[in-house]
Amino acid sequence: MKPQRALFLTANAMLVAVAMLCGHCADDRPSQLRCAEPAMKAQGIVVAGSGAAVPLFADLAMRYFEKTGQRVFVPASIGTGGAIRALSDGAIHIGLATRPLKENERQPGVREIPFARTVLAVAVRRDGSARPLDMQTIGRIFSGEMRRWPDGTPAVPLQREPGDSGFAVLAGAEPGLFARIREGREHPGRRFCYSDDEVMDALGQIPGALGIVDEGMVRVMDAPFHLTRLPGARRTLFLLVKGTPTSEVRGFLNWLGSAEVDRRLQDVGYEPMKGNR
C-alpha cells in the first residue's frame, strides 16, 4: 500500500469505528463527520472538503506527522459545500474547496485562502489500445460519435453532474470540448459520476473508460493513467479557515506555506500560490 493512501484509510477506519459506537445523529452535517468529529478533533487537526483535494492533503498530512508528530485527519470527500457547513458547525479545523465560494456561502470570519492550482486532464488507463489522446478523438468519444477503441473495447465516457467545479472551469477554458461533452450527456454509453473519487475508481475498474480529472490528483496517487493535459483549464484549491486558529492549526498552516511544501506541490503537478498564503 502506498504511504499516502495509508493515512487516508486510517482516518476513514476511525470514522467508521466512532460512528458505530455513537449510533444515530439527528443533524444535517455531512455523514462522514457525524459523531466522529469530537474524537478526531481531540486527537489532531481535521481537514475535509472536496474529493479532488483529499489525496494531496492525505499525502501532506503524512509528511507533517513524520516531521512533527502532530496528527492531521483527512476523511473521505464531503465536497466543497460540505466543508462550508462543517466549518460553520465547528466540526473541522480547515475546509478544502475547489472553487471560489458563492456569495450566499460566504460567512463572517471565514477566510478563503488560494493554496495551489493544477491543470485538468483527460485520463485513460494505461492498458489495451488507449493512449494519450488528441482533442478531436476526445470530443468524438464524449459526444458518442466514437463508441469503441481501435481494439473493439467500448469507449465509456465518464460524465459529471452539471454543477461540478471542474466542468465549470472546462466550460470557460475549452468551450469546444465542453460543447461535445454536453452533446454526449444523453448518449447511452456514458456513465455519470458524482465525485472525483468515483471518477478515479471508474477509470481504474471499467475497461475503456475515460474521464476528466485533476492532473495533481492523479500524480499524487501515482495512478496508472495516461493523461492528456488541458493547459488552459486550471482548477484552484482553496483553504477555508474560520476565526482565529489554534496554535496547532496555525503551525500546520504555516508549514503549508513553506518551501518544503512548495517543492512537494510542484513534484506532483500543482502550482503553489505562494503570494496568496
- Residue 25 cell numbers, joined: 445523529
Domains 3-117+236-276 and 118-234 share a fold: yes
Instruction: Identify the three-state secondary structure at position 31.
Output: coil
Res. 68: pLDDT tops 90: yes
- Give the count of alpha carbons within 13 A of 54, CB side only: 26
The whole-number average pLDDT for the span 53-68 is 96
Average pLDDT for the chain: 83
pLDDT value of residue 5:
40
Q: With cut-offs at 50, 70 and 90, classify the pLDDT of residue 108.
A: confident
Query: Is residue 227 within 8 Å of 215, Cβ to Cβ?
Result: yes
Lowest-confidence region among 18-32, 117-131, 244-258 = 18-32
**pLDDT above 90 coverage of the chain, percent:** 59
The whole-number average pLDDT for the span 83-89 is 92
Q: Which of 65, 67, 74 is nearest to 10 (CA)?
A: 74
- Residue 59 cell numbers, joined: 499525502
CATH number for the region 118-234 comes to 3.40.190.10
**At the topology level of CATH, where does 3-117+236-276 sit?**
D-Maltodextrin-Binding Protein; domain 2 (3.40.190)
Tens of pLDDT along 14-23?
Answer: 333 333 223 3
- What residue segments make up the domains of the chain, in order of their start? 3-117+236-276, 118-234
Query: Is residue 32 within 8 Å of 11, Cβ to Cβ?
Result: no
**CB under 8 Å to 268, separation ≥6 — which residues?**
56, 59, 216, 219, 220
Read off the amino acid at residue 251: G
Partnered with residue 214 across adjacent β-strands are: 120
Res. 84: pLDDT tops 50: yes
pLDDT value of residue 41:
54
